[in-house]
A and B are shown apart, each in its own frame.
Chain A
Amino acid sequence: QITLKESGPTLVKPTQTLTLTCTFSGFSLSTSGVGVGWIRQPPGKALEWLALIYWDDDKRYSPSLKSRLTITKDTSKNQVVLTMTNMDPVDTATYYCACYGSGSYPDYWGQGTLVTVSS
């Protein structure tokens, strides 16, 4: 059974750096073709794709947020970490991590974690 769970702060101040951790089970990020990525959804708005890291450490980022995002993995801990710098109130959203079992698209999702950016 594949599960993913997001963790991190629920409240961050403007200009701070957000660090989110995705802890997963039921698959390995050392398996060829597999990836784990992050997606967010501001309240009342559409989903937005953020970043993806593959088993071979190849990475993809949203062009509009690339300068602020870093995605890393710790295969031994079954974790993927996303950092987003210079947080702004418009970054208030539910952040989801997802497994890309085939490498091409998310097939398993976490429940998400709401992050509010406010002073």
Chain B
Amino acid sequence: ETTLTQSPAFMSATPGDKVNISCKASQDIDDDMNWYQQKPGEAAIFIIQEATTLVPGIPPRFSGSGYGTDFTLTINNIESEDAAYYFCLQHDNFPLTFGGGTKVEIK
């Protein structure tokens, strides 16, 4: 089973900031990494697929990078509407596993 270590668990940002969220896999998962955004009481939204590909309809201020074991979700010029819980998911092998999540607060 692949363990995903996500950091930080919480962060506070100011509108306009650049935010980086890390997800480290316990073994090589190629680019089989996705990122999701979730707001309280709402369905999670799929934002990055295959580590670097922006899901259609997602604002271009979101981007993903990484391969193998180290991955990063970047939010450029963060906006107030980006306040949410973000989590990573590996789909390289079963069982699929998740990072611990990052709560992003906007000041």
Contact = CB atoms under 8 A, between A and B. Distances in A.
Interface of A: 4, 39, 46-49, 60, 62-63, 96, 98, 104-112
Contact of B98 (A49, A63, A109, A112): A49
Interface residues of B, number: 23
A110 B94 contact: no
B11 interface: no
A109 B43 contact: yes
Q: When A and B form their complex, which 10 residue pairs have the shortest distance between CB atoms, in order from nearest?
A: A105-B91, A47-B98, A109-B44, A49-B96, A109-B43, A46-B100, A62-B95, A107-B46, A111-B43, A49-B95
Contact of B89 (A4, A60, A63, A106): A106
B71 interface: no
A48 B46 contact: no
A64 to B, nearest CB: 8
Contacts, number: 48
Interface string B45-82: 11001000001000000000000000000000000000
A63 B44 contact: no
A104 B55 CA distance: 15
Nearest to A101: B46
Nearest to A37: B96
Given A47-B101, A62-B95, A63-B95, A108 B1 contact: no
Contacts of B34: 105
Contact of A108 (B43, B98, B101): B43
Interface in B19-56: 32, 34, 36, 41-46, 49, 55
